[in-house]
Amino acid sequence: MMRFIVKLLWIAFFSGILFAIAFIGLIHLGLFGELPDFERLENPEYNIASEVYTADGKLIGKYYIQDRSFVDFEDLPPHLIQALIATEDTRFYEHHGIDWKGVVGAIVYTLQGKKRGGSTITQQLAKNLFPRQRFRTIPDIVITKLKEWITAVRLERSYTKDEIITMYFNTVPFGGTVYGIKTAAYTYFGKPVDSLTIEESATLVGMLKATTKYNPVLNPEDSRQRRNVVIQRMADVGFITQEEADSLKELPLITNYTPITHISGIAPYFREYLRRELDEFLKNYTKPDGTPYDLYTDGLRIYTTIDSRMQKYAEQAMKEHLSHMQKLFYREHPPKRLWKEKRELLVRVLKRTSRYIQLKEKGLSEDAIFDSLRKPVPMKIFTWEGTVDTVMSPWDSVAHHLTIIQAGIIAIDNATGHIKAWVGGANFRFFQYDHVLARRQVGSTFKPIVYSVAIENGWSPCYEIPNMPVVFPEYDNWSPQNADKRYGEMLTLAQGLAYSINTVTAYIIKQFGPEAVIEMARRLGIKSEIPPVPSIALGTVELSPKELTNAYVPFATGGQYRDPIAIIRIEDRYGNVIVDFRNPSKQVLDQRTAGLMVALLQNVVNRGTGVRLRLKYQLPGAIGGKTGTTQEHADAWFIGFTPQLTVGVWTGWDYPELHFEDMKYGQGASMALPIWALFMKKVFEDKELYYKPTAQFEFLKPEWIANQHCLYNWRSLRKTRDESTTPDDVIIF
């Protein structure tokens, strides 16, 4: 009887083994669900973030579904690998995917009512590469675990141990949308992976047990304790000494939380512009398998023309000046009084908010909606000193943000057409309307285009024009007036542009016609609609800072035009170049015309409405430019250039109904020019940058202006004009 029972036990034992082998074989054959084949193991699919780099090599943004960037094994510091092995898989270099000692240990601990994981790093990688489905039953758990074992063994056959470690660090999640050690190092410590210290490495490895509970930003104390557990494990297995471990555990947990999001970091307006452009552009390029590139999953590397230093200087210049002008605006327009006068505007804007629309869809009356909008709630608001947490009603919040002065700033390299800086507004989080692309009336910044027509047709800078009102009978006797009402003298073209005299500009367009001016604008790269009416001479046309600024570049380059570009090249995840961008130049003005326009526009800076660059800001070097102010000071402009760089600045409010009443503050020389000056001072002071105040307009031949005596024997009109208060170029109808 006993022999029979033993025989049955042996039969049962071997049957169990045979059943297990057969069961694993069936799983291997895919009977219980597909296993990754060799092709997928050799080329696993990842969602990899596309990265945006500046021309000087700084990472400034990403586009992603999962924020994952790849790192090579050589970039992983040894103590990071040691921390992972000590904590997750001490026999990693000894097993072939499955650690049987660990499995037995996990079973024993489970039978004792304790919890202990038995998964190897390779098994965890299998789970990361080929995520589990949700468990429904115990058999589901068993089958899934066996699948991961089989996949782990296959991975061990396909990759070296170092490659498996690298793949693991590139795929593991670190909370939220953060995936991979490279992104985690930047996010939590603001540094590349190879710069992580032992304690920082231990912190990140410690997160892997529970990314929220041990998040060093959300739960710093739990994270510190878990970090110390990892450090102790490193000592236990001999990677560091106990003395080192004790010393490291005493260190405070210090993070440098720097997540890269679409609203944080430098150049957010530029990055959003780039995203929209790339979404369309990439439709024309396909991967080797014939499918189009995906900006959010294919790990592209986008190398842009932006210079991180110049971008920072532009943002600083805007904040420095507009924070000052904001105080002057509130002094002139106390908010309570302002919104009594502008209530119609405020109501109009409130009706466009999502909160108003949602309440309207619920069937509330307008009175009930406005009552709701007047109830204070916790919120964040923008100030020039920084974001403020406060309690405020949505009504007051909208009113507050409407009063914030906005700006559009763009800097273009003259020699290449590369965009070096791009500021679209006061703060992307609160104001996502990009004023670099927004069309606004340009005022007298359009006048150089009109003057170019006259110069090209043989008029000299010293050509004299009567300072008298010009009438256009065919346009209802339209007759533009000078802002200061001063008439009666003969003025040269140089004086007319330097002091932005409306009658001189009107005289020119009357002689050559609006069509000639429009044709000149087209040659200079302006593509927006321009109505064929004489008022365009004074800047009634609406253009964006991007378009208008680039139209000035041919003056500085001897007549050479290039389309402005924002991208140098795009590479795939493996470093292969997908597209290399070029923007060839073309001659749109003869050099003499460009040279004489440079001379005229230098006089604007040296003696005219832009003289603050010299007198107040003490900017040296060869500089030309033009101020601009529109009706009721709704738009203030300054477009200026050096031999190497052209920079355009627009300032104003989102809605033209808001503006300074006092021309002293509202004109282009007061609102926009100072930003240009502050930016260029910072650029000139940066010795590492290419742009120098010593650069000259080399194409400008001395003989072109040698006989233009009015440029040297300057007859000032300032006897009755105070530069600090005189309107520079307001359109008056």
Helices (H), 457-566: 493-498, 502-512, 514-523, 545-556
Residue 144: predicted pLDDT? 55
Superfamily of domain 406-711: DD-peptidase/beta-lactamase superfamily (3.40.710.10)
Residue 19: predicted pLDDT? 46
The one catalytic residue in 51, 88, 200, 571 is 88
Q: Where are the domains of the chain?
A: 69-260, 334-402, 406-711
Measure the CA–CA gap between 223 and 675, rounded to whole angstroms.
45
Measure the CA–CA gap between 244 and 723, rounded to whole angstroms.
69
Radius of gyration (Cα) for the chain, nearest Å?
34
Residue 730: predicted pLDDT? 40
Measure the CA–CA gap between 147 and 162, rounded to whole angstroms.
23
Instruction: Flag residues of the chain having pLDDT under 70.
Output: 1-46, 96-118, 128-153, 155, 262, 718-733
Residue 109: predicted pLDDT? 47
Measure the CA–CA gap between 68 and 86, rounded to whole angstroms.
24
Kindly give, in sequence order, each residue whose CB lies less than 8 Å from that of residue 284, ignoring residues fewer than 6 positions away. none
Q: Is the whole-model pTM more than 0.85?
A: no
Q: Is 494 left (phi over 0), alpha (psi -120 to 50) or beta?
A: alpha
Percent of the chain with pLDDT over 70: 84
DSSP assignment of 1-14, as one string?
Answer: -HHHHHHHHHHHHH
Beta bridge partners of 222: none
Residue 44: predicted pLDDT? 57
Residue 35: predicted pLDDT? 47
Q: Give SS3 for 499.
A: coil
Residue 122, token pair as written in the block: 């390779």
CATH (residue range 69-260): 1.10.3810.10
The one catalytic residue in 119, 223, 397, 444 is 444
Q: Give SS3 for 423.
A: strand
**Are 629 and 667 spatial neighbours (Cβ–Cβ below 8 Å)?**
yes
Residue 70: predicted pLDDT? 81
In this predicted model, what pLDDT tens digit does every residue of 59-70 receive, in sequence order?
998 888 777 788
Comparing CA positions, the residue from 597, 626, 623, 622 lying closest to residue 610 is 626
The amino acid present at 196, given as its one-letter code, is: L
Residue 158 annotated as catalytic: no
**Are 382 and 404 spatial neighbours (Cβ–Cβ below 8 Å)?**
yes
DSSP assignment of 272-302, as one string?
Answer: HHHHHHHHHHGGG-B-TTSPBP-TTTB--EE
What per-residue string of b and e applies to 259-289 under the rule 16 or more CB within 10 Å gives b?
bbebeebbbbbbbbbbbeebeeebeeeeeee
In this predicted model, what pLDDT tens digit does every residue of 9-56 receive, in sequence order?
555 544 544 444 444 444 444 444 454 444 444 455 667 889 999 999
**Are 165 and 76 spatial neighbours (Cβ–Cβ below 8 Å)?**
yes
Residue 668, token pair as written in the block: 């282009």
Residue 247 annotated as catalytic: no
Q: Give SS3 for 62.
A: strand
φ and ψ at residue 310, rounded to 5 degrees? -65, -35
Residue 302: predicted pLDDT? 96
Cα–Cα distance list, 97 to 132, 376, 401, 465 (Å)? 18, 59, 58, 89
Name the burial class of residue 220, with classes exposed (0-12), middle (13-18) and buried (19+) by CB atoms within 10 angstroms of its CB.
middle
Please tell me what DSSP assigns to residue 565.
B
Measure the CA–CA gap between 101 and 97, rounded to whole angstroms.
12
